[in-house]
Structure 1
């Protein structure tokens, strides 16, 4: 879970930086960060929704660990963690294209 937390924090940091740099608004929550990026067309909405779900799951793991089921955590790590990498790649592609 530690590595998922680190990846989540990196994705949030990148997203918050883009929002600040591009003047996209003020995020009201961690999940809202990805809504702002989606509204500005930074990534595919489906990808942003997946990343947002991982961030929300991670928030639940930190704030309410008893609510989190081990099956949810395993699913997130094995099936959804690649979405964080895809998000990073999408941002880099956009940055390189100008």
Structure 2
């Protein structure tokens, strides 16, 4: 879809880009959602995989699979909160 010529652009064509928010605590939103601070996620991997076995054929135990689903749900919630996805 082509952008309307009447659409307001956030960029001012600087070679180093455009920043939304100056820090993790600045409130930002998209598509009319309430403004919120940056979501904090752990810097360490959320779920470590294991070698595939007959007990964990895809390389994940039941607990690891549950953790993956929890992480995906948290990421989805963050996207919805920011207005980058809708329910």
TM range (shorter): 0.3 to 0.5
> When you count helix as a share of all residues, which structure comes out higher?
1
Q: Which has the higher contact order (CA 8 A, sep 6+)?
A: 1
TM-score, reference length from structure 1? 0.32
